[in-house]
Amino acid sequence: MIHRRTFLHTLLSVPPALLLAAAPTAALAQQLGEGMERGGVLDIHSEDERRSFADLQCTCGCPRESIATCTCGQAGGFRNEVRAMMARGLSQEDIKAEWVRRYGPQALTVPPNSGANRLIYVGPLAVIAGMGGFAVMLLRRFRQRDDQKAQAAAPPVAGAKRDEYDEKLDEELKQLDDE
Protein backbone atom coordinates (compact mmCIF):
# COMPACT_ATOMS: atom_id res chain seq x y z
CA MET A 1 0.00 0.00 0.00
CA ILE A 2 2.83 2.38 0.78
CA HIS A 3 4.43 1.74 -2.59
CA ARG A 4 1.18 2.50 -4.39
CA ARG A 5 0.81 5.86 -2.66
CA THR A 6 4.41 6.77 -3.38
CA PHE A 7 4.05 5.77 -7.02
CA LEU A 8 0.71 7.58 -7.34
CA HIS A 9 2.13 10.67 -5.67
CA THR A 10 5.10 10.62 -8.05
CA LEU A 11 2.87 10.02 -11.04
CA LEU A 12 0.64 12.96 -10.19
CA SER A 13 3.42 15.39 -9.31
CA VAL A 14 5.73 14.90 -12.30
CA PRO A 15 3.54 16.26 -15.14
CA PRO A 16 2.75 19.59 -13.38
CA ALA A 17 6.42 20.02 -12.55
CA LEU A 18 7.35 19.49 -16.20
CA LEU A 19 4.68 21.94 -17.32
CA LEU A 20 5.90 24.59 -14.87
CA ALA A 21 9.50 24.12 -15.96
CA ALA A 22 8.61 24.42 -19.64
CA ALA A 23 6.21 27.37 -19.33
CA PRO A 24 8.78 30.23 -19.21
CA THR A 25 10.67 28.76 -22.15
CA ALA A 26 7.48 28.46 -24.19
CA ALA A 27 6.45 32.03 -23.35
CA LEU A 28 9.86 33.38 -24.35
CA ALA A 29 9.80 31.38 -27.57
CA GLN A 30 6.33 32.74 -28.34
CA GLN A 31 7.51 36.32 -27.76
CA LEU A 32 10.57 35.80 -29.90
CA GLY A 33 8.45 34.16 -32.58
CA GLU A 34 6.35 37.32 -32.87
CA GLY A 35 9.09 39.22 -34.65
CA MET A 36 11.46 39.85 -31.74
CA GLU A 37 14.76 38.82 -33.24
CA ARG A 38 17.53 38.68 -30.67
CA GLY A 39 20.48 38.89 -33.03
CA GLY A 40 21.30 42.60 -32.75
CA VAL A 41 24.65 44.10 -31.88
CA LEU A 42 25.37 46.10 -28.73
CA ASP A 43 26.95 49.29 -30.01
CA ILE A 44 27.84 51.28 -26.91
CA HIS A 45 30.55 53.86 -27.55
CA SER A 46 31.19 55.50 -24.18
CA GLU A 47 30.69 55.12 -20.46
CA ASP A 48 28.11 57.95 -20.49
CA GLU A 49 26.06 56.00 -23.02
CA ARG A 50 26.37 52.83 -20.93
CA ARG A 51 25.07 54.64 -17.81
CA SER A 52 22.18 56.22 -19.70
CA PHE A 53 21.25 52.98 -21.47
CA ALA A 54 21.38 50.96 -18.23
CA ASP A 55 18.68 53.16 -16.63
CA LEU A 56 16.20 52.71 -19.49
CA GLN A 57 14.24 49.56 -20.20
CA CYS A 58 13.61 48.17 -23.64
CA THR A 59 9.84 48.27 -24.21
CA CYS A 60 9.75 45.82 -27.11
CA GLY A 61 8.44 42.92 -25.03
CA CYS A 62 11.78 41.34 -24.23
CA PRO A 63 12.07 39.87 -20.73
CA ARG A 64 12.66 43.17 -18.83
CA GLU A 65 16.09 44.14 -20.06
CA SER A 66 17.73 47.52 -20.27
CA ILE A 67 18.59 48.90 -23.67
CA ALA A 68 22.24 48.45 -22.63
CA THR A 69 21.86 44.64 -22.69
CA CYS A 70 18.91 43.96 -25.01
CA THR A 71 19.95 42.73 -28.45
CA CYS A 72 16.60 42.97 -30.24
CA GLY A 73 16.17 45.19 -33.27
CA GLN A 74 14.09 47.81 -31.43
CA ALA A 75 16.76 48.30 -28.75
CA GLY A 76 19.15 49.61 -31.39
CA GLY A 77 16.57 52.25 -32.34
CA PHE A 78 16.07 53.13 -28.67
CA ARG A 79 19.83 53.54 -28.25
CA ASN A 80 19.90 55.91 -31.24
CA GLU A 81 17.05 57.95 -29.69
CA VAL A 82 19.01 58.30 -26.45
CA ARG A 83 22.16 59.26 -28.38
CA ALA A 84 20.16 62.01 -30.11
CA MET A 85 18.95 63.26 -26.71
CA MET A 86 22.54 63.26 -25.43
CA ALA A 87 23.64 65.19 -28.55
CA ARG A 88 21.00 67.84 -27.76
CA GLY A 89 22.69 68.27 -24.38
CA LEU A 90 20.11 66.61 -22.14
CA SER A 91 21.39 65.36 -18.79
CA GLN A 92 20.88 61.78 -17.63
CA GLU A 93 17.95 62.85 -15.40
CA ASP A 94 16.37 64.77 -18.32
CA ILE A 95 16.72 61.69 -20.53
CA LYS A 96 15.01 59.57 -17.87
CA ALA A 97 12.19 62.11 -17.58
CA GLU A 98 11.71 62.14 -21.36
CA TRP A 99 11.76 58.32 -21.43
CA VAL A 100 9.07 58.19 -18.73
CA ARG A 101 7.00 60.77 -20.63
CA ARG A 102 7.17 58.69 -23.82
CA TYR A 103 6.91 55.12 -22.51
CA GLY A 104 5.58 55.43 -18.95
CA PRO A 105 7.20 54.92 -15.55
CA GLN A 106 7.45 51.16 -16.07
CA ALA A 107 10.08 51.84 -18.75
CA LEU A 108 12.76 52.63 -16.14
CA THR A 109 14.89 49.72 -14.93
CA VAL A 110 14.90 51.10 -11.36
CA PRO A 111 11.71 52.83 -10.21
CA PRO A 112 12.20 56.34 -8.78
CA ASN A 113 12.28 56.65 -4.99
CA SER A 114 9.25 58.90 -4.73
CA GLY A 115 5.52 58.69 -4.12
CA ALA A 116 3.94 55.25 -4.08
CA ASN A 117 7.16 53.72 -5.41
CA ARG A 118 8.65 54.07 -1.93
CA LEU A 119 6.55 51.08 -0.94
CA ILE A 120 8.78 49.02 -3.21
CA TYR A 121 11.72 49.93 -0.99
CA VAL A 122 9.97 50.15 2.40
CA GLY A 123 7.55 47.23 1.99
CA PRO A 124 10.10 44.40 2.17
CA LEU A 125 11.78 45.99 5.20
CA ALA A 126 8.42 46.26 6.97
CA VAL A 127 7.63 42.62 6.19
CA ILE A 128 11.05 41.51 7.49
CA ALA A 129 10.58 43.53 10.70
CA GLY A 130 7.06 42.12 11.15
CA MET A 131 8.24 38.55 10.69
CA GLY A 132 11.10 39.17 13.15
CA GLY A 133 8.61 40.49 15.73
CA PHE A 134 6.38 37.46 15.14
CA ALA A 135 9.35 35.10 15.64
CA VAL A 136 10.32 36.86 18.90
CA MET A 137 6.73 36.65 20.16
CA LEU A 138 6.53 32.96 19.27
CA LEU A 139 9.84 32.17 20.99
CA ARG A 140 8.73 34.01 24.14
CA ARG A 141 5.49 32.05 24.18
CA PHE A 142 7.40 28.76 23.89
CA ARG A 143 9.74 29.83 26.68
CA GLN A 144 6.78 30.69 28.96
CA ARG A 145 5.19 27.32 28.25
CA ASP A 146 8.45 25.52 29.08
CA ASP A 147 8.84 27.54 32.29
CA GLN A 148 5.30 26.63 33.34
CA LYS A 149 5.95 22.93 32.69
CA ALA A 150 9.19 23.10 34.64
CA GLN A 151 7.46 24.75 37.59
CA ALA A 152 4.73 22.13 37.58
CA ALA A 153 7.25 19.27 37.55
CA ALA A 154 9.63 20.81 40.12
CA PRO A 155 9.71 19.36 43.67
CA PRO A 156 8.16 21.50 46.39
CA VAL A 157 10.40 24.20 47.74
CA ALA A 158 11.20 24.39 51.49
CA GLY A 159 8.71 26.64 53.21
CA ALA A 160 6.02 25.91 50.67
CA LYS A 161 2.57 24.96 51.86
CA ARG A 162 2.37 21.27 52.74
CA ASP A 163 -0.75 19.22 52.58
CA GLU A 164 -1.82 15.90 54.14
CA TYR A 165 -0.27 13.83 51.34
CA ASP A 166 3.14 15.34 52.05
CA GLU A 167 2.79 14.36 55.73
CA LYS A 168 1.78 10.79 54.85
CA LEU A 169 4.67 10.49 52.43
CA ASP A 170 7.16 11.68 55.05
CA GLU A 171 5.80 9.17 57.59
CA GLU A 172 6.05 6.26 55.15
CA LEU A 173 9.60 7.23 54.18
CA LYS A 174 10.60 7.29 57.86
CA GLN A 175 9.11 3.84 58.39
CA LEU A 176 11.08 2.49 55.43
CA ASP A 177 14.30 3.99 56.81
CA ASP A 178 13.65 2.37 60.22
CA GLU A 179 13.17 -1.08 58.77
Residue 159 has a pLDDT of 63
Judged against a pLDDT cut of 70, whether residue 57 lies above it is answered with yes
CATH class for the region spanning 31-112:
mainly alpha
- Give residue 126's pLDDT: 93
- Tell whether pTM > 0.75: no
Instruction: Give tens-digit pLDDT for 104-132.
Output: 877 787 777 777 777 777 889 999 999 99
Q: What are phi and psi of 102, to 5 degrees?
A: -75, -45
Helix boundaries (H) for the chain: 2-33, 47-55, 73-87, 92-103, 118-153, 164-178
Q: Phi first, then psi: give them for residue 56, nearest 5 degrees.
A: -110, 135
Percent of the chain with pLDDT over 70: 72
Q: How far is 128 from 163, CA to CA, in rounded Å?
A: 52
pLDDT of residue 59: 77
Mean pLDDT rounded to a whole number for the chain: 74
Model confidence band, residue 135 (pLDDT cutoffs 50, 70, 90): very high
In this prediction, residue 68 carries a pLDDT of: 79
Which pLDDT value is given to residue 26? 41
Smallest CA-to-CA distance from 113 within 96, 88, 89 is with 96
pLDDT band, very low/low/confident/very high, at 158 (cuts 50, 70, 90) = low
